[in-house]
């Protein structure tokens, strides 16, 4: 369980936060707010700890930005993990776990078989990482456009603008896809853990 929590923190917060920190460091250096060369000559341990903490905190700030980006970007197709799971496993129709809330179902799976739940957790956190990294691509695109207009390297800036413009929707789309796979995987794993169905069915009868 400790590994799962660490995995979530790393993927959902630290990595997207590091990308946002890189954008902020670029802007601070470009606008001469800080001397990046002088900072890099500081104590290595302090620098690494500072980058890790700043990345983690920025990751928390980027989380709502990533959520908004996921809502704003139009969906090309509508995916329903329950329908996909039942299409491939019609024998599971009518079982309690199929109708359960996805997050509640994942919690039940973690409770009864934490090792099996790690795969679903990995997919979900990877999807969050991609989605939460998308705002950094948008900020990078804006910076590249500005560099294209006023910077000394227009060709490089133009290439960077194209890459950032393509990366923003691609990260959101892939994040959605991984989240969908995580939901399907949660259902598939729950199918093979009878304790999950027994617990949810018992609660339904109690209600």
- Total number of residues shown for the chain: 207
Per-position DSSP letters for 51-106, written without gaps between them: HHHHHHHHHHHHHHHHHHHHHHSPPSS---HHHHHHHH-GGGTT-HHHHS-HHHHH
What are 169-198's pLDDT values in tens digits?
999 999 999 999 999 999 999 999 999 998
Mean pLDDT of 62-91: 89
pLDDT of residue 34: 82
pLDDT digits (tens, 9 = 90+) for 134-166: 999 999 999 999 999 988 888 999 999 999 999
- Cα dihedral across residues 41, 51, 70, 174: positive or negative: positive
* Torsion sign over Cα 114, 117, 122, 125: negative
Query: What's the predicted TM-score (pTM) here?
Result: 0.84
100 has pLDDT over 60:
yes
Is residue 5's pLDDT more than 70?
A: no
What is the average pLDDT score of the chain?
88
Residue written as token pair 């989240």: 179
Percentage, residues of the chain above pLDDT 90: 56
Domain boundaries along the sequence of the chain: 2-206
């Amino acid at each position: 369980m400790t590994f799962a929590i660490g995995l979530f923190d790393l993927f959902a917060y630290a990595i997207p936060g590091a990308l946002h920190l890189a954008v902020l460091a670029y802007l601070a250096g470009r606008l001469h707010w800080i001397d990046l060369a002088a900072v890099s000559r500081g104590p290595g341990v302090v620098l690494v700890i500072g980058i890790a903490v700043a990345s983690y905190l920025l990751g928390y700030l980027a989380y709502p930005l990533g959520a908004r980006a996921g809502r704003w970007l139009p969906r090309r197709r509508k995916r329903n993990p329950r329908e996909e799971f039942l299409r491939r496993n019609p024998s599971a129709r009518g079982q309690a776990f199929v109708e359960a809330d996805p997050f509640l179902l994942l919690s039940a799976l973690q409770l009864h078989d934490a090792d099996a739940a790690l795969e679903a957790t990995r997919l979900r956190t990877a999807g969050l990482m991609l989605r939460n990294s998308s705002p950094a691509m948008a900020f990078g695109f804006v910076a590249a456009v500005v560099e294209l207009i006023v910077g000394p390297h227009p060709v490089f800036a133009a290439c960077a603008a194209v890459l950032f413009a393509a990366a923003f929707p691609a990260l959101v789309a892939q994040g959605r896809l991984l989240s969908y796979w995580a939901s399907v995987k949660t259902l598939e794993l729950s199918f093979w853990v009878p304790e999950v169905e027994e617990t949810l069915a018992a609660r339904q009868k109690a209600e």
